[in-house]
Amino acid sequence: MRCSLLLCALLLCAAQATAGDDGPLVPETVAIPAGEFIAGSDRAEREYAYSLDEKAYGHSITRKQGWYEGERAKGLARTKAFRIMATPVTNRQYAAFVKATGYRAPDVDRATWEGYGLIHPYRRTRRFAWTAGEPPEGRLDHPVVLVTHADAVAYAEWLSSVTPRDWRLPGELEWEKAMRGRDGRVFPWGGRWDPAKLNSHDAGPFDTTPVGSYPGGASPYGVLDPAGQLYEWTADPHGAGRFTVKGGSWDDKGCGVCRPAARHGRPADIKHILVGFRLVAE
């Protein structure tokens, strides 16, 4: 049930005035205007992405497997106006949700993880896992990971119930516009690859970092962590039981997958150390 206008106003004031252990209830957002923008990619951009991967990895697997062939054809798209979280949802913000609702804390057991068939060993998940409902030490301002698509939706529904706004996962086009602006640039900061502007395996710590650690890589609208750091859930399906994720991660080199036009799907129920989310508000 939605809160009354008076209660919502009181909650908003309290959330903006305090930033205690539970973190602020109302995340900072960036306004994205209504209108057209250039979405997707053309042959030249995809070739550039493959060449970046080949240089970084020393092989042509992404080209041979056609990783970027499913991208939207470059052209004009349109969105309504919306606001998007300035950074991905952090452990600090997600902890307020877990504490208030008793919702399950981010974690994954060995059998489930090994059943995914991923290249990361199970031991690597332990630094991201929560203990007794508490985030890992020293990582309150890192993005939350090990969350399924349903977990992200549940957080959005809770945040909608305790703040004056209605929150949801972004559509793929909304996400792309927020991260690349209107002019169809290849990366959020411009047309050329620069490993200093994001958290990727090229120059990063091979781990998540506190959100907003790469302000030089902000999008034209001022959105932080628009590339690298972690893949982000969107609201758009990507085949049966899957949803589109965008953004690239701390594990990627190259970084063809870090372009806002890049897209691929993940199973809705996967709890991955490379996947988190941010929300939009109407």
pLDDT tens, residue by residue, 63-87:
999 999 999 999 999 999 999 999 9
User: Which amino acid makes up residue 211?
Assistant: V
- Token pair for 65: 């497997």
Per-residue pLDDT tens over the stretch 141-189: 999 999 999 999 999 999 999 999 999 999 999 999 999 999 999 999 9
| Closest of 257, 239, 238 to residue 247, by C-alpha | 257
Given phi > 0 = left and psi -120 to 50 = alpha, else beta, which region is 125?
alpha
What is the full DSSP assignment across 152-191?
Answer: HHHHHHHHHHHSSS-EEPPPHHHHHHHHHTTTT-SBTTBS
Cβ-based neighbour number of residue 107 at 10 Å: 16
What is d(CA 120, CA 250) in angstroms, rounded to the nearest whole number?
Answer: 13
Average pLDDT over residues 190-211: 97
pLDDT value, residue 10: 29
Partner residues linked to 85 by β-bridges:
29
Q: In the predicted model, what is the mean pLDDT of the chain?
A: 92
Contact assessment for residue 107 and residue 129, using Cβ atoms and an 8 Å cutoff: yes
What is d(CA 214, CA 210) in angstroms, rounded to the nearest whole number?
Answer: 9
What is d(CA 161, CA 63) in angstroms, rounded to the nearest whole number?
Answer: 45
> What is the CATH code for 22-281?
3.90.1580.10
- Domain ranges (residues) in the chain: 22-281
pLDDT value, residue 99: 97
Please compute Rg for the chain using Cα positions.
18
Given phi > 0 = left and psi -120 to 50 = alpha, else beta, which region is 138?
left
In the chain, the percentage of residues whose pLDDT exceeds 90 is 90
Average pLDDT over residues 24-43: 94
